Chains A and B, each alone.
Chain A
Amino acid sequence: MSERRVPSLRLVDVTVEVDRRRLLDSVSLSVEPGEWLGVVGPNGAGKTTLLRAVAGLVAVRGRIELHGRPVDGLSRRERARAVALVPQSPIVPDGMTVADYVLLGRTPYLGPFAVEGPVDHAITAEVLEQLHLLALASRPIDTLSGGERQRVLIARALAQQSPVLLLDEPTTALDIGHQQDVLELLDKLRFERDLAVVSTMHDLTMAAQYPDRLALLADGRVATVGPCEEVLTEEHLSRHYGATVRVLHGPDGIVVVPTRSRRGSP
């Protein structure tokens, strides 16, 4: 048995209530360095709220730890150095260049009236190079294609140099090839940088192939968490998604196929 490391991210009984509606209910999860946790669940299950809670955008009850440190003791900037969030539909400022946008990732390392120094520019250049974005560096982001744009968003998060990376539906609005590109990139990055990755995912077949483990959220609770084959069962998907699906076990892993037959019939 290898020695267990301190988890990069640990949630203990995390509850979120907004306007008396309980969006997350006693969620407990933990993610190791270099591990990828996929979060799946039907619409409104609390997937996005979970990421926002970890990023510090909603008030929580319970305990969130980043590398063993409770987040309550962290300042905004310390927290931003510990965890980066790529939102599902970020506001992309008109006319801002790729380089300037990625440079925003250096914000947690700068005081309110400071400007970026050579180190910040070097780190930004390194990230751009690693993600093959140098050629696009002076392009305004609003002129990029969907796949390029998603790489730029990930680049900004990497410039934050935080060991925990949260992504909300990173492949939405991408075609299937670009979805694979983005997920392969994340898979490579998490090993290279020992990142703990938490991503919400819509496509269950993709969710079965990339993350190490999946957490299935339903009504704000963790319905089940574990290896993909334990989470993505026809029974789970029927109960929590209200979906009729066939889960096929092929040579490349699990494939989730929607079917038209009514529940209960063969």
Chain B
Amino acid sequence: MPAATLPRSGLAWRWVAVGVVLVVVAVVAGLSVGPVALPLHGVLLEVLGHLPFVHVHSGLTAREADIVWSLRAPRVVMGLLVGAMLSVAGGAYQGAFRNPLADPYLLGVAAGAGLGATLVIVAGQPASGGGVVAPLPIAAFGGALLAVVLTYTLGASGDRRRSTTSLVLAGVAVASFLTAVQTWVQQRHSDTIREVFSWILGRLTTATWHDVLILLPYVVVTSAVLVASRRVLDVLTVGDDEAATLGINVSRVRLVVVVAASLGTAAAVSVSGLIAFVGIIVPHTVRLLAGRSYRSILPLSLLFGAAFLALTDLLARVVIAPAELPIGVVTAFFGAPFFLIVLRSTRSAP
């Protein structure tokens, strides 16, 4: 028997540790920073006190505890969920299409969601919505799914060789068309243009526990499917034909991954608005830092994406406080230079 042990290049636990630390930092900072400054140790103890079997007193007043739990916590959690979802979906799209530029918006998800949201807003519904059934997220979700179904139907081609390219091109066409319709609707109702733009640029301002509970099952189920597909996505890197000779049903794998990633993305943007760029920079940063195997890209994108968006939201809150920047602006403004630094400082291109 050969006693050889193989070098394993799967998930590196030190990067998992880094990701966990970043998430913790993002959560604590997100809960402490705001118009009302709260003591850091008080916030920490307050959170610890809510863990099972831990009995500590935070020293926060009832009003301060309320700020933590009712205002800041849902927003922070929403940032974590949306960031994790967009990032893991981006990484999965890049694997499924073997295209480094693929992201959750590739198949028209953003354009569809934008159109759905615009229609609701011009119909006079408030963008930030109470009620058990808020119409805006549902319309955005419906629009996103409609776009993906359109793209998949129009882009599906009998020829396996061409199907990836034709799917991407169909996505571009569907996105352009839906964006054109959205722009037209928006121009016809210039009174609501501000509100439409504020949704399109993304915001977590209005996040409630209710939104979190709507989003949570989508994020959990779809990211579980995507992370479980990590090995198969590695197999796809050798190309469709070779993956097929290795016993992979390529079109089925691609369908499962694309449906899961699109569903999760649609759910995320329906509550957060369109937050650009996260699905590209987070998986690529992970790829540059921790290697190109999807076994590390997908799980680490969950952690890094969650921390990235929560921290970005924090920046959006403090940069021009008491006003807030749209988070989509911040992700691009800080994310793009950061990504370029990572790109330049690592020897290997993604």
Contacts and interface: CB of A to CB of B under 8 A. Distances in A.
A115 B7 contact: no
B238 A124 contact: no
Most A CB contacts (10 A, CB to CB) among B2, B247, B291, B292 go to B247
B299 to A, nearest CB: 12
Contact of B246 (A78, A97, A107, A122): A107
Interface stretch (B44-52, B74-82, B173-181, B225-233): B225-233
Q: How large is the interface on B (under 10, 10 to 19, 20 to 34, 35 or more residues)?
A: 20 to 34
A57 B293 contact: no
A97 B7 contact: yes
A113 B229 contact: yes
A95 B238 contact: no
B234 interface: yes
A93 B237 contact: yes
Contacts of A112: 229, 232, 253, 256
B7 A137 contact: yes
Nearest to B8: A99
B61 interface: no
A46 interface: no
A129 B4 contact: yes
A41 interface: no
Nearest to B7: A138
Given A80-B245, A93-B237, A96-B237, A125 B229 contact: no
A103 B10 CA distance: 12
A114 B2 contact: no
Contacts of B295: 115
Given A87-B242, A97-B9, A112-B253, A125 B4 contact: yes
Contacts of B242: 85, 87, 90-91
A211 B293 CA distance: 38
A182 interface: no
Most A CB contacts (10 A, CB to CB) among B7, B231, B243, B293 go to B231
A84 B245 contact: yes
A96 B291 CA distance: 9
Contacts of B4: 125-126, 128-129, 134, 137
B217 interface: no
A57 to B, nearest CB: 6
B241 A81 contact: no
25 contacts: A55-B244, A76-B244, A79-B247, A80-B247, A84-B245, A85-B242, A87-B242, A90-B242, A91-B237, A93-B237, A94-B292, A95-B348, A96-B237, A96-B293, A99-B7, A104-B235, A107-B247, A107-B248, A112-B256, A113-B228, A115-B231, A115-B295, A128-B6, A134-B4, A137-B7
Interface of A: 52, 55-57, 76-81, 83-85, 87, 90-97, 99-100, 103-105, 107-108, 110, 112-116, 121-122, 124-126, 128-129, 134, 137-138, 160
The 5 residue pairs across chains A and B that have the minimum distance between CB atoms = A80-B247, A108-B247, A77-B247, A138-B7, A93-B237
